Structure 1
Amino acid sequence: MTSRWTPGHITPITLQLVGPQSWTEVPALLCYDPSDPFAVRIAFGEQDGADGEEGIAWLVGRELLQAGLERPAGDGDVRVWPAHTASDVLFLHLRAPSGEALFELSRATVAAFLRHTEALVPTGSETALLHLDQELDALLSNGGPDFPGR
């Protein structure tokens, strides 16, 4: 089932995949949807492309990216940190069961993107946009009043 994701803000970005002997440019999109105010989507490859296949996307905490602009942030599958030697370099490390990847990306581009998200949903106001009561009702009703597992 394919769901169409409607972002509030999209920024194209080129990441450098850091390999053992070379770097590879990887085009991606930074995407922000105010209906999921805590997350930033990093979309790699064709998204809802003409061939019907979707690319890979990672959801990363907006707060994690913000913290990673200034200092190492994240544990486990997603880590972000600024380079010590270059002011416009940000490192992004992604780990999945199938492998891991280290990327270099523009710190200034990520900072500008986060400023746009902040204009859409200021930090601290995210929970006001969530429909927690509706989500909780759906969860507690086991998917609806006629759900067979009740």
Structure 2
Amino acid sequence: MLQPPMSVIDDVDLRLVVPGDEGVQLTATLRFEASDPFAVEATFRAGAESISWVLGRDLLADGLHGDCGEGDVRVWPTVDRGRHVVMLQLSSPDGSALLAADATGLDAFLRRTYEAVPLGFEGDHLDLDSVVAKLLT
């Protein structure tokens, strides 16, 4: 029997939205690990610079269909320049960013994560020892 993947990794095209400008094209590497089934790590790259955020898988999935999130991360679907995109608004004490992610690429990535760990079965894959160790470091 074919086993589902333990990791799902994919690159998604993004645009950093800059008021009054065309913005900046970026690539984000999305990483899902079955051992941490509620999270997606997004590493955003522009040239030699990169920054990583950990986002909720359910938040990204919900953001494909409606406005969700609060505080540091908000996600919502829209049409930008004739393309379906998912907007990611990220805020931290160091600043904020508004990103437009390709909705088709994000949806394809999330579908692959649900093949690896189906919705409702996250607890079967959660490595509690690893979670506790991360919390204590």
Is the TM-score greater than 0.5?
A: yes
What does 1:40-119 align with in structure 2 at a 5 Å threshold? 40-45=40-45, 55-83=50-78, 86=82, 88-119=84-115
Greater Cα shift, 7-16 or 78-87: 78-87
Structure 1 residue runs without a partner (length 5+): 1-6, 144-150
In structure 1, the partner of 2:14 is 15
CA deviation profile, 1:38-82 (whole Å, cap 9, x unmatched): 001111238xx9xxxx83110000000110000001001111100
What runs of 5+ residues in structure 2 fail to find an aligned partner? 1-5
Q: Which runs of 4+ in 1 moved over 3 A?
A: 84-87, 134-139
The CA distance in 2 between the partners of 1:115 and 1:109, in whole Å, is: 10
Greater relative contact order, per chain length (Cα 8 Å cut-off, separation 6+): 2
Q: Tell me which residue corresponds to 2:3.
A: none
Q: Structure 2: how far apart are the matches of 1:64 and 1:138?
A: 24
2:116 aligns with 120
Mean Cα displacement is larger for which, 84-93 or 99-108?
84-93
Tell me what 1:28 maps to. Answer: 28
Number of residue equivalences: 128
Distance 1:115 1:136, change over 3 A: closer
TM-score, length-scaled by structure 2:
0.82
Q: CA deviation at 1:131?
A: 3.2
Question: Structure 1, residues 25-50: CA drift from partner, whole Å, max 9, x if none?
Answer: 1121111111110001111238xx9x
The structure having more radius of gyration, on CA atoms, is 1
Check conservation: 2:34, 2:126, Cα contact below 8 A.
Answer: no
Deviation at 1:84, TM superposition (A): 5.3
Name the structure with the higher strand share. Answer: 2
